[in-house]
């Protein structure tokens, strides 16, 4: 190897070493705050953010579990800014909030611009709900959307062939009209999930089921309208929710907040550099592909 090659190799090695050291230092600093360290700094109110369309509840569920187990965290503020999402992840977050409450820690929900459908669903598990007068909420309902492009395929001369085992295996096929029997099956499915939604709201808000059914027709409401319907408890912003959480947790003065750690993601970095939308915005399913049920505004 030539002297110039050895120098270049040394430069690359030193650069990689510095990069590894930097990443290691950042990781240590981000994870250096232990439960004991937090406890030494006094009681905290943890903030859990439900942002955007709910497609995966794993991150929120993990945060809620950690806060339930952390002795320094005395209460949780759930900051919701979501138009809804997929049913199952929404229910996972709902159940995780209930577990936090069972651990003896109050949970206060705070609505941002919108907390509709699945966004409202998760909030009903909280002890109290704060909404801004103009926050959009409600939209209690379930939807499954599928395209029918049979006419288009015939027009361009495409013959779509399906080989199946099971009478309803291709139910929702975009290349043909849905049969009355298939529509009945899907309607029964949506009705069942809708009933679960209504039951969750009735239980969480302490309302009779018939009272929930009176406003659970899919429409959206302002925060002020929601207050009149007892869908929320108070009008107020994030700071009001934090103050209420502190009082319920018997914390004197304004409580210190514990915000979620921002997890570094090369995927997010690449998408932001390329100007791509966040992955969670790529929700609409392709026609003919099995689509989940959405609790969406």
Residue 188 domain-assigned? Answer: yes
Tokens 């006094």, residue located:
42
The per-residue pLDDT for range 114-145, each reduced to its tens digit, is 999 999 999 999 999 999 999 999 999 998 88
Cβ neighbours around 194 below 10 Å, total: 18
Distance CA 203, CA 195 (A): 12
pTM of the model: 0.77
Q: What ranges make up the beta strands (E) of the chain?
A: 44-51, 73-82, 84-86, 107-116, 128-131, 136-138, 220-222, 234-235, 256-258, 294-296
Per-residue model confidence (pLDDT) at position 202: 97
Residue 17 domain-assigned? Answer: no
* Domains: count for the chain: 1
Residues of the chain with pLDDT under 50: 28-30, 32-39, 276-290
The per-residue pLDDT for range 241-263, each reduced to its tens digit, is 999 999 999 998 888 999 987 65
Pick the closest to residue 72 from 249, 267, 205, 197 (CA basis). Answer: 249
Residue 15 domain-assigned? Answer: no
Evaluate whether 83 touches 296 at the Cβ level (below 8 Å): yes
Residue 7 domain-assigned? Answer: no
Residue 119 domain-assigned? Answer: yes
Residue 10 domain-assigned? Answer: no
Looking at the DSSP bridge assignments, the partners of residue 110 are 79, 130
Distance CA 116, CA 111 (A): 9
Q: The domain that contains 139 carries what CATH number?
A: 3.90.226.10
Rounded to 10°, the helix 180-205/87-102 angle is 20
Catalytic amino acids?
Answer: 117, 169
Structural domain range at position 194: 34-296
Cβ-Cβ contacts under 8 Å for 195 (sequence gap 6 or more) = none
- Number of H-type helices and E-type strands within the chain: 11, 10
Residue 20 domain-assigned? Answer: no
Cβ-Cβ contacts under 8 Å for 90 (sequence gap 6 or more) = 54, 57, 84, 118, 121, 122, 295
Residue 11 domain-assigned? Answer: no
């Amino acid at each position: 190897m030539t002297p110039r090659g050895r120098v270049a190799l040394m430069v690359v090695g030193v650069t990689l070493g510095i990069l590894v050291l930097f990443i290691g230092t950042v990781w240590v600093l981000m994870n250096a705050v232990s439960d004991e360290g937090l406890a030494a700094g006094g009681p905290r109110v943890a903030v859990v953010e439900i942002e955007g369309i709910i497609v995966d509840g794993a991150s929120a569920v993990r945060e809620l579990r950690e806060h339930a187990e952390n002795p320094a965290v005395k209460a949780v503020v759930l900051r919701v800014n979501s138009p809804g999402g997929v049913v199952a992840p929404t229910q996972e977050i709902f159940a995780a909030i209930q577990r936090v409450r069972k651990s003896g820690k109050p949970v206060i929900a705070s609505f941002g611009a919108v907390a509709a459908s699945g966004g409202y669903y998760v909030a009903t598990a909280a002890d109290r709900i704060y909404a801004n007068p103009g926050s959009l909420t409600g939209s209690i309902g379930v939807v499954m959307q599928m395209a029918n492009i049979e006419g288009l395929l015939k027009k361009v001369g495409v013959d779509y062939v399906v080989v199946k085992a099971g009478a309803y295996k291709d139910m929702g096929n975009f290349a043909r009209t849905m049969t009355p029997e298939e529509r009945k099956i899907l309607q029964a499915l949506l009705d069942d999930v809708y009933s679960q939604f209504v039951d969750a709201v009735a239980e969480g808000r302490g309302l009779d089921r018939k009272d929930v059914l009176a406003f659970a027709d899919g429409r959206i409401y302002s925060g002020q309208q929601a207050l009149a319907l007892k869908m929320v408890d108070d009008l107020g912003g994030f700071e009001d929710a934090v103050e209420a959480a502190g009082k319920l947790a018997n914390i004197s003065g304004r409580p210190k907040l514990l915000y979620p750690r921002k997890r570094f993601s090369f995927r997010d970095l690449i998408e932001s550099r390329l100007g791509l939308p966040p992955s969670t915005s790529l929700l609409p399913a392709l026609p003919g592909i099995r689509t989940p049920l959405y609790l969406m505004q």
